[in-house]
Structure 1
């Protein structure tokens, strides 16, 4: 049996001891080309340290071979031996044919470390040597995508797509769909999603298409694609929320509610689903269900501000002041500084004739709501009822600035003065 077949069987069996024994045999008896082939096989199978061991032996045999240095350096980076990898890459000189490849490997290293400027510098240096090399252009586009330079990345991807449909195993139509979506150019992304789906259909691609369509305001198209996602993968949880949101934008609130309930039947621990279910139930007048959904969202995450604010707002509109107070007191006990809730608390306490506590919450709310005329109006009347004329005067002066055409505030200031 050939040694390569023996390696394949040992790898498939996960027999590390046999792999190690075969490496020793390989290094003693096999030709360098066979050793190089086995090294690549080991690396691709995830036996990185064993592959590096073979490459290290080959480097000992051929110390000046640049390609072996590059291959070994890439494996060393994978096993967190960056210092040795950098020494190998920087030992490759400019006159060598593999120098641009070494620069690209250095760029990959810097990119992984978050040193994006250094990475781009190395890629540009390689491009100055091989200006039309597609792999280098692709590497630069990938770097620009990662760093949020979407328009520049899209230009490079489109230039590449004019020459080929695929590079480095990546469909360029998919990359262009991704980069345009990432850059919020959703209408530009849609044709590339359509092209990508001609070649193969996956739930991720369909969802990306649906999301782009939703953001572009094409809600009917988004609904169709999301239903296709559900057909392919009923447990693609993100699809249920977006589908409900798309139906809501089409003002089909009943369908939106049913879509979110279906999502909850598959994932009962998603607080965002409960929140949106609560909102849809409120729109449909299903107030009991709405309150239940919102309370479930808060039970999953007591610090879920949006759900708490939605529930408090509903309770406030229903004049359930005791329930408002109960919720806000729980939050206050946890020392959560949620100023958006303070106006509700102030009004609830005032209605319950707990004026001292109402005053506390009006004072707390003032800092973040002093530019809100509606809040300031309620605040000034509360102060007047409590006989706090000097404070009411100061609030009245601010109301004049907020609503200069309202004569009542000027009259109030004059009467208080």
Structure 2
């Protein structure tokens, strides 16, 4: 039995010391083909240093064997020694039968270095050498997907499906096409491909992507069904809870929305948006203290306190707790923002401190001049203050956004 085989048996039994002895014997005494087989096995097992030693030893015997250089380049990549990988791969000349393979490996390196343009160039050069190799097209498709060039992804993968109908891709092409279509807003078409993908395999990620597409085309019940299935398949998949709770909220199912949001908080206690939704659902259920509690809790986590403070200030205004709202807004990290000024204006208006209210409405206006709710509120305030011309100007701007508000139309006609 060769020393190479004895080393592998020693590794299999966990005897690393004896394996080292056999490795040294194999290096000095085994036949080249035995060393090559051992090197390949060690590479697969993750013993990169020993595999590299064997490949280099063989290269001294066969200096023109480009497959050894590719193997050494791949090991260097695994060890994050990219300069060394370049040195091995660039020794392979265009006349070599393995030149295309070296280009593919170089493309991997450039992608790791976040230089996708050069990676694409290497893949296209390899494609010229091997025009009928779908794996190169697949590599291009994955490069495009990683760089968010979604139209190129769609074109590339549809070409693979049409040109190589029997090609067994390691990547589900329908899933990739479906996700890419969704990223460019083609949700209905995306549904077709993602439905095809889940017929092959119902993975959590596929079901989740499909559910989001159904939500975009307003098929909420189907979206709820799929998202619920995702949460049952993998309760730790924390991305599912916010969209599921939001859709339930949109459907007026506030109890269900709150239940889902609470599960989401349990799985990921740092998801600000889920706290906000739990608060909104609680408020709709007339659980006002609980609505405040969720916002106060997320503020205490200091994750994105200004947004949460503004949410709480909005709630306080609804409850006419004006002084509390003013105090809360005054603690914002960044006061110079439209919503903050608007909430202060509403609070002072509620306290009948009209000069302060006017000041903050004016400060808010440049930030909020495309917000219909603000324009309506500000226009009515100006009218009540007797500033009819200014009020008319603001309310006319509002009507360009909400032309069917009969109350405001009638008000301006008076």
Could you say whether these structures have the same fold, taking a TM-score greater than 0.5 normalized by the shorter chain as the test?
A: yes
Alignment match, 2:405: none
1:250-271 Cα deviation digits (max 9, x unpaired):
3333322222233334444432
Distance 1:280 1:142, change over 3 A: same
Shifted more, 282-291 versus 124-133: the winner is 282-291
How far apart, in 2, do the equivalents of 1:370 and 1:308 lie?
22
1:224-279 Cα deviation digits (max 9, x unpaired):
22222233222222222222223234333332222223333444443222111112
Alignment match, 1:415: none
Distance 1:244 1:400, change over 3 A: closer
Alignment match, 1:214: 215
Alignment match, 2:403: none
Alignment match, 2:130: 130
Q: CA deviation at 1:362?
A: 4.6
2:172 matched to 1:171? yes
How far apart, in 1, do the equivalents of 2:272 and 2:328 lie?
18
Q: CA deviation at 1:320?
A: 0.8
User: In 1, are the aligned partners of 2:211 and 2:224 still within 8 Å (CA)?
Assistant: yes
1:115-166 Cα deviation digits (max 9, x unpaired):
1111111111111122121111111111111222212212221232342353
User: In 1, are the aligned partners of 2:10 and 2:19 still within 8 Å (CA)?
Assistant: no
2:78 matched to 1:81? no
1:359-380 Cα deviation digits (max 9, x unpaired):
7645643442356634654775
Distance 1:174 1:326, change over 3 A: same
2:133 matched to 1:153? no
Aligned to 2:330, what secondary structure does the other structure show? helix
Distance 1:68 1:403, change over 3 A: closer
Aligned to 2:325, what secondary structure does the other structure show? helix
Aligned to 2:331, what secondary structure does the other structure show? helix
Alignment match, 1:114: 114
Q: CA deviation at 1:29?
A: 2.2
Alignment match, 2:364: 365
User: In 1, are the aligned partners of 2:214 and 2:223 still within 8 Å (CA)?
Assistant: yes
Q: CA deviation at 1:18?
A: 5.3
How far apart, in 1, do the equivalents of 2:174 and 2:213 lie?
14
How far apart, in 2, do the equivalents of 1:335 and 1:306 lie?
10
Alignment match, 1:340: 339
Unaligned runs of 5+ in 1: 386-391, 411-417
1:59-115 Cα deviation digits (max 9, x unpaired):
222221111111211221222222221122222111111111111111111112121
How far apart, in 1, do the equivalents of 2:351 and 2:395 lie?
30
How far apart, in 1, do the equivalents of 2:167 and 2:217 lie?
26
Q: CA deviation at 1:308?
A: 2.9
Question: Which TM-score applies when normalising by structure 1?
Answer: 0.82
User: In 1, are the aligned partners of 2:123 and 2:139 still within 8 Å (CA)?
Assistant: yes
How far apart, in 1, do the equivalents of 2:327 and 2:13 lie?
62
Alignment match, 2:404: none
Unaligned runs of 5+ in 2: 401-407
Alignment match, 1:309: 310
User: In 2, are the aligned partners of 1:278 and 1:289 still within 8 Å (CA)?
Assistant: yes
Alignment match, 1:39: 39
Q: CA deviation at 1:183?
A: 3.5
**How large is the Cα RMSD of the aligned pairs?**
3.5
Q: CA deviation at 1:21?
A: 4.0
Question: Which TM-score applies when normalising by structure 2?
Answer: 0.82
How far apart, in 1, do the equivalents of 2:399 and 2:291 lie?
40
Residue pairs, 1:254-403, within 5 angstroms: 254-301=255-302, 303-331=304-332, 334-335=333-334, 337-352=336-351, 361-362=360-361, 364-369=363-368, 373-374=375-376, 376-377=378-379, 399=394, 402=397
User: In 2, are the aligned partners of 1:370 and 1:376 still within 8 Å (CA)?
Assistant: no
Aligned to 1:170, what secondary structure does the other structure show? coil
How far apart, in 1, do the equivalents of 2:341 and 2:355 lie?
14
User: In 2, are the aligned partners of 1:49 and 1:79 still within 8 Å (CA)?
Assistant: no
User: In 2, are the aligned partners of 1:271 and 1:300 still within 8 Å (CA)?
Assistant: no
